[in-house]
Amino acid sequence: MMYIDMIAANIWLADWWDYIVSVCLFFTVVLGIVFIFSQPGEIRVSHQRQAAIATGHTDRRTLFESGPMRPLLWLMLVIAHRLNIGGAKDWLRRRLVAAGSPNYYTAEEYLALSLLLGLALAMFLEVLAFAATSQFSLFAILFGILVGVTLSLYNIAEKASKRLRDITRQLPYALDLISLAMGAGATFVEAARTIITDSREDPLNVELRAVLAEMELGTTRRQALQNLANRVPIEPMRNLVSSVIQAEELGTPLSDVLHDQATLLRMQRSVRAENKAAVAGVRILVPCLLLVIAVLLTVFGPAIVRISTGGLF
């Protein structure tokens, strides 16, 4: 009788646990819907895309312009706009600009694509979990969404970091060429236009072409360079823009300033390379010691085992 009572008590606790879990899931979904759709949001086209379309460029061809995917992506875009995560959106917006504004995505559009990737991965993991256990798994859904969004954000962050490294590597040589051209009598615009004609798809040339386009549209050189420093948030570019602005205020020849900045950047690059070489020498010491110890144990291991078990002979 006591065993039957224990079974009944366990069944009663299991039923109540199912009720509690169901109620918690219900309120979680309700609170999530309220949190998402209670935030104001406005779906708009980015300024870069508006300018590209206004100047006659062909509009982009992405999933947002695809007919079958448009309803689902519209829902993801509404959710991305409603999410009250201003700091994360600002971070994503800066990464997109640093990555070269791929497909002129806004932060909300890229977040919508990230949510779509997370949803697809969650569905895939849920199918695998159901095939393995014959039960639906809430953990598989949450884990899939989290991993999908994280991988998407990591991808754009890596693209931005790689592009900034390429710009940092190209900057001293571009400054030297501009300085030489200006020393030969060319203006800043003519010198910059000369160096961007060879490799138009290089990241630095793309940014210089944007600077020239802004100046042709009436923006002052100072403001165009400040916009360049905002688009390329690296310390060498900020120092360069500050030096150029200071040279304009003091009347210093711009070619001399650019030559000095190129020399300084090469010196800083040499110092960084020396520091990395010194650190690499220290880091490689531990693997080398492990290899030496492994060789010594291989050679003298049998003798050590014999001595420890009673004698060498």
By the 8 A CB rule, do 179 and 259 touch? yes
Verdict on whether the full-model pTM lies above 0.75: no
**Both tokens assigned to 131:** 């095939």
Which pLDDT score is estimated for 3? 44
Q: How far apart are CA 7 and CA 172, in angstroms?
A: 78
pLDDT for the residue numbered 38: 47
User: What are the b/e assignments for 276-305, b being 16+ CB within 10 Å?
Assistant: eeeeeeeeeeeeeeeeeeeeeeeeeeeeee
Dig out the tokens for 19 from the structure.
């009720």
**Domain residues of the chain, as ranges?**
9-37, 181-284
Question: Any idea which residue has 């823009």 for tokens?
Answer: 241
- pLDDT 10s per residue in the chain (313 long)? 444 445 444 544 445 555 565 556 555 655 555 454 444 444 556 666 666 665 556 666 777 766 677 777 778 888 888 888 878 888 988 998 888 888 888 888 888 888 888 888 888 888 888 787 777 777 888 888 888 889 999 999 999 999 988 888 888 888 888 888 888 887 888 888 888 777 777 888 888 888 888 888 888 888 888 888 888 888 888 888 888 888 877 777 878 888 888 888 888 878 777 777 777 777 788 888 888 888 888 887 777 777 777 655 5
Which tokens sit at 7? Answer: 């079974």
